[in-house]
């Protein structure tokens, strides 16, 4: 069964450094998302992406965040100048449906900012 792939599974960085989280969505999906989950908290929406553009973004997704689909398969989340509070599990998701239905999630990247 096709799956969403995320790399790395764990990322440790120093506060103020930039990180890039990578995702390979399922190949025939057109809608892509980043969510994050702070330990013990709920899964929170960051951004949705379609047709090489951001469709929606949350208040969390401020100027330190950016997303990109650099080629036909990868989808990346860049966090500039990381802060301690950025420590979380970051999930990529994709779906073939336009209405946020039936999201397929990757296994996540655990980001630790020291």
Chain residues that interact with other proteins, rule: CB under 8 A: 4, 35, 41-45, 48, 56, 58, 89, 91, 93, 99-108, 110
Rounded Cα–Cα distance for residues 8 and 90 (Å) = 11
Nearest approach, Cβ of 100 to other proteins (angstroms)?
Answer: 4
Give the list of residues 6+ apart from residue 23 with CB closer than 8 angstroms, or none.
Answer: 4, 5, 6, 7, 32, 34, 74, 75, 76, 77, 92, 106
- Please identify, using beta-carbon distances, which residue of 67 and 93 lies nearer to other proteins: 93
Q: Which is nearer to other proteins, 40 or 70 (CB)?
A: 40
Count other Cβ atoms within 10 Å, centred on residue 10: 10
Nearer to other proteins, 41 or 73 (CB): 41
Q: How far is the CB of 59 from other proteins (least distance, A)?
A: 11
């Amino acid at each position: 069964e096709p799956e969403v792939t995320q790399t790395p599974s764990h990322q440790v960085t120093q506060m103020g450094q930039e990180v890039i989280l990578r995702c390979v969505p399922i190949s025939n999906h057109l809608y892509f998302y980043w969510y994050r989950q702070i330990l013990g908290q709920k899964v929170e929406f960051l951004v949705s992406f379609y047709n090489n553009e951001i469709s929606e973004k949350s208040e969390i997704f401020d100027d330190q965040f950016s997303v990109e689909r650099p080629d036909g398969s990868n989808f990346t989340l860049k966090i500039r100048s990381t802060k301690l509070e950025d420590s979380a599990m970051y999930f990529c998701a994709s779906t073939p449906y336009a209405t946020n239905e039936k999201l397929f999630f990757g296994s996540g990247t655990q980001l630790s900012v020291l």
